[in-house]
Chain A
Amino acid sequence: MKGLQVTDLHVSVDSKPILRGIDLTVAKGEVHAMMGPNGSGKSTLSLTIMGHPRYRVESGSVVLDGEDLLALPVDERAKRGLFLAFQYPSAIPGVSVANFLRTAINARRARADTKNDMPIPQFRKLLKERMELLEVEDSFLSRSVNDGFSGGEKKRLEMLQMHMFQPTMAVLDETDSGLDIDALKVVAHGIEMLRGPEVGILLITHYERILKFVQPDRVHVLVDGRIVRTGGRELAAELEAKGYDFIRDELYAGKA
């Protein structure tokens, strides 16, 4: 099976259960939106898939292209084609964007005991192409990674990285939060430009508004650590109209 398969995933943070049995399949070529209110476990899901040490997998599995991701360290997951666009990207003072991208690409290409650096002209060509695609200004390259970046600039850099590393499975963790409409369009454009038969995309979001620009194949609703509804694009519109409460009310109606 090509793509991402999450099966009965239970995750806790500091001994507190957050995800309580997630089942999710994102096939190559598909775009899935994962929506949910604050505290539902959206970021936990994305950070667990990437391998953040703070998130403890109690049971279940995460498989990418048939390979058990949970057995792999963070960097190996990246090398297998997984990319996470962060909600809060870290600043790396003293390391320029250009240097970071180049070093990262070479780190990903390296195999045991052998370097396999991308030749500089090839790197430069790729960079130029991707920067044009995402309308990133040249001045970006010499600035330190995310250091003093505005919210919009950080998201733009996440998109540039996503396009430089050419993942086969991209998870975007609330990449659309806190953006003005122009920045939102940049992110949406970045996602649309990545979309293709060889790439699966999981777009995690609180708001429906980015789905005005990105057409998801499936929409999931995450509440209290469980996927409670799955549907097509109309589900997102319904959520936008009624808010998350209606789902909660529905969910807990029988148990009151």
Chain B
Amino acid sequence: MLLPLDRDDVERLVRSRGEPDWLRESRLRALERYTPETWPTGLEEEWRRFPLTDLPRTLFIREPAGSDPPSEYSSVPVAAAHRGVVFDRWIDAVGDHPDLVRRWLDDGDGIASHAAFRALNGAAFGHGSTFLYVPAGVEVELPLHVHKRWNRSESAIVFRTVVVAERGSSVTFVEELSSEGGSSGRLALPGLEVHLGEGARVRYVRIQRFADDVWDLGSQRYRSGRDSSLASFNVLVGSGRTKMGLASDIEGNGAEVKLYGLVAAAGHQRIDVNSLQKVDGKGSSSDLLYLSALYDFAKAVYYGVIRVEPTSSGTGSYQECRNMLLSDKAGADPIPVLEILTNDVARCGHAATAGALEESELFYVMSRGFDRASAERLLVRGFFQRVINNIPDVQMRARVVDALAPRIGRIADIDAEIAA
């Protein structure tokens, strides 16, 4: 059953944000795509295990007063700003660089059964939206960072983040999301689109720490041009329910895609990830590595597809999903699917596991003076290290570890100090 959103809602949003016609039309086109046929039936592989019956029914598309959500943007280094880097709230980017934003409005397609939520996002995105543009050949050295915080409210969290890295450019971007809890149920539809031009290099880190009243039905879409290099990290700690639809397209030869995820869930959290890695071109690669630590009654279902296109040759791709169960009530269901439509493949494979910590490992660690909880934390931290190691920047790693700490705790991270 569709969540209520009509033309009047969209028109009101456009007026309150003072948006130009081209943006209004883009929203209305998205609204047209939002039809009962696009809503998941619950029979799709992606949705079979994720009932939407308790979904908060109010979208509440209302522009809150003031600068809600309070967002903190790191500033763009002066040199990069001079060379045309744009990193701003969407509403300001539309005002200052309308032609640029307009060029990147098309959000394309993604996982078919997530279409309704992408359409909703395209029609109703508002506060919290971000536009990041890096012109050809510009390398932004320091990571750009934004922390978006939503105050307590029933209002849905609907925003769009567009990242464009033109030919030969390079950027690292950290997006942190958090909200105050306490509502009776709140919908979040974070949309992310990342475009990599030829030879571009993008490192993206999402840290999601929504309160447990939030249902996060976000989408992410990555489009990789020739010889580009992408590494994305989703650190999913918050929300009561998360269903993320992540689609990565390779649109040229020699592109490299790395999709990492860390899930740390407790209580009755339910964190699901669907992925679609389309692999095309000559000698391109696409590798996914998602690691989950599940406590209490938490559950994680991963269902992901690698599709190696018939037009590709000599590509490499991998899907790896590993789940650590820290309670006998926690559960995980990793389901990898490979669709290989060509004989010309360098490598393609998957690995999926779910299991408890080894009692012998725990005993070994505890014999060194760690109580059981600390021993578990140490082993989980070690388990996550495979992904954390790949986060390119020390400060970003620290942010990720901070975000994970409420779940997996903290262990000393002092290798650098000792080496000094």
Chain A contacts of B415 at CB under 8 A? Answer: 96, 98-99, 141-142
Q: Which of A36-88 contact B (CB under 8 A)?
A: 50-54, 73-75, 77-79, 83-84, 86
Q: Are A90 and B418 in contact (CB under 8 A)?
A: no
Q: How far is the CB of B401 from chain A (nearest CB, A)?
A: 12
Q: How far is the CB of A167 from chain B (nearest CB, A)?
A: 10
Q: Check: B381 CB closer than 8 A to any chain A CB.
A: yes
Residues of B within 8 A of A116 (CB): none
Residue of B at shortest CB range from A88? Answer: B360
Please indicate the chain A residues that have their CB under 8 angstroms from the CB of B369 in the complex.
75, 78-79, 104, 107-108, 165
11 additional A-B pairs beyond A98-B419, A103-B412, A141-B419, beta carbons within 8 Å, are: A53-B359, A77-B367, A78-B366, A90-B360, A91-B361, A92-B364, A92-B378, A95-B382, A98-B418, A102-B418, A106-B412
Interface segment, one of B6-14, B110-118, B164-172, B383-391: B383-391
Interface: B368 (CB within 8 A): yes
B22 at the interface (CB under 8 A from A): no
With beta carbons under 8 angstroms apart, the residue of A73, A83, A94, A120 that contacts B417 is A120
Shortest distance between the CB of B164 and any CB in chain A (Å): 35
With beta carbons under 8 angstroms apart, the residue of A77, A86, A98, A142 that contacts B364 is A86
What's the least CB distance linking B358 to chain A, in Å? 7
Residue A215, interface by CB 8 Å: no
Note all chain A residues with C-beta closer than 8 A to B419: 98, 141-142
Q: Is A29 an interface residue (CB 8 A)?
A: no
Could you list 20 examples of A-B contacts with CB < 8 Å?
Answer: A73-B366, A74-B367, A75-B368, A75-B372, A78-B366, A89-B364, A91-B361, A92-B361, A93-B382, A94-B384, A94-B386, A100-B368, A100-B378, A102-B412, A102-B418, A103-B378, A103-B412, A107-B374, A141-B415, A165-B368
Q: Kindly report which residue of chain B lies nearest to residue A109, judged by CB atoms.
A: B369
Contact string, A120-145, partner B, CB cutoff 8 A, digits 1/0? 10011001000000000000011010
Which residue on chain B has the smallest CB distance to residue A54?
B359
Residue interface mask A196-207, B partner, CB < 8 A = 1 = 000000000000
Distance, CA A79 to CA B375, complexed state (A):
14
Q: With contacts A52-B363, A99-B415, A103-B411 known, is A94 near B370, CB below 8 A?
A: no
Q: Kindly state the separation between the CA atoms of A100 and B366 in the bound complex, as whole angstroms.
A: 12
Least CB distance from A141 to B in Å reads 7
In the complex, the answer to whether A90 meets B364 with C-beta atoms within 8 Å is yes
Is A5 at the interface (CB under 8 A from chain B)?
no
Q: Does A99 lie within 8 Å of B370, measured CB to CB?
A: no
CB-defined interface of B400-418 with A at 8 Å, one 1/0 digit per residue? 0000000000011111011
Whether a CB of chain B sits under 8 angstroms from the CB of A161 is yes
Tell me, in angstroms, the Cα distance from A89 to B361 when the chains sit together.
8
Q: How many residues of B contact A (CB 8 A)?
A: 33
Q: Interface majority SS on A: helix, strand, loop or mixed?
A: helix
The answer to whether B45 has its CB under 8 Å from any CB of chain A is: no
> Which residues of the other chain, B, contact A91 by a CB distance below 8 angstroms?
361
A161 CA / B367 CA spacing, docked (Å): 11
Are B382 and A92 touching (Cβ within 8 A)?
yes
B residues near A53, Cβ cutoff 8 Å: 359, 363
Closest 10 CB pairs of A and B: A94-B385, A94-B382, A108-B369, A90-B364, A95-B382, A78-B369, A74-B366, A104-B368, A90-B361, A98-B418
Neighbour of A92 across the interface among B372, B379, B414, B418, CB < 8 A: B379
Whole-angstrom distance between the Cβ of B176 and the nearest chain A Cβ: 24
Asked if A120 and B418 make an inter-chain contact with CB atoms under 8 angstroms apart, the answer reads yes
- What separation, in Å, do the CA atoms of A78 and B367 have in the docked complex? 6
Main secondary structure of the interface of B (DSSP, over half): helix
B367 contact from A84, A103, A124, Cβ within 8 A: A84
Query: Considering the chains assembled together, what is the distance between the CA atoms of A107 and B374 in angstroms?
Result: 8
Chain A CB within 10 Å — which of B368, B378, B381 has the most? Answer: B368
CA distance A79 to B363 in the complex (A): 14
Shortest Cβ distance from residue A99 to the other chain B in the assembled complex, whole angstroms: 6
Kindly state whether residue B371 has any CB partner on chain A within 8 Å: yes
Q: CA–CA, A255 to B415, complex, Å? A: 61
Point out the residues of chain B lying under 8 angstroms from A161, CB to CB.
Answer: 368
Does B23 belong to the interface (CB within 8 Å)? no
A50 near B367 with CB under 8 A, answer yes
In contact, B367 and A73 (Cβ under 8 angstroms): no
Look across to chain A and name the residue whose beta carbon is closest to the beta carbon of B410. Answer: A103
The distance in angstroms between the C-alpha atoms of A104 and B369, with both chains bound, is 6
User: Could you tell me which residues of chain A, from 136 to 158, have a CB within 8 Å of some CB in chain B?
Assistant: 141-142, 144
A92:B367 contact, CB within 8 angstroms: no
Q: Which of B359, B371, B418 contacts A127 (CB 8 A)?
A: B418
Interface assignment of B365: CB less than 8 Å from any CB of chain A: yes
Cα separation A102 to B411 with both chains bound (whole Å): 10
Known: A94-B381, A94-B382. A99 touches B371 (CB 8 A): no
Contacting residues, chain B, for A120 (C-beta < 8 A): 414, 417-418
* Contact (A73, B371) CB under 8 Å given A90-B360, A93-B385: yes
* Contact partners of A123 in chain B: CB under 8 A: 418
Question: Min CB distance, B363 to chain A, in Å?
Answer: 6
Q: A75 near B371 (CB under 8 angstroms)?
A: yes
B368 contacts which chain A residues (CB < 8 A)? 75, 78, 100, 104, 107-108, 161, 165
CB-nearest residue of chain A relative to B383? A94
- Kindly identify which residue among A51, A52, A98 contacts B414, using a CB–CB cutoff of 8 Å: A98
Our pick among B359, B361, B366, B417 for the contact of A75 (Cβ within 8 Å) is: B366
Q: Is the beta-carbon distance between A95 and B385 smaller than 8 angstroms?
A: yes
A99 to B359, CA, bound (A): 21
Judging by beta carbons under 8 Å apart, are B363 and A141 in contact? no
Q: Which of B364, B372, B415 has the most CB of A within 10 A?
A: B364
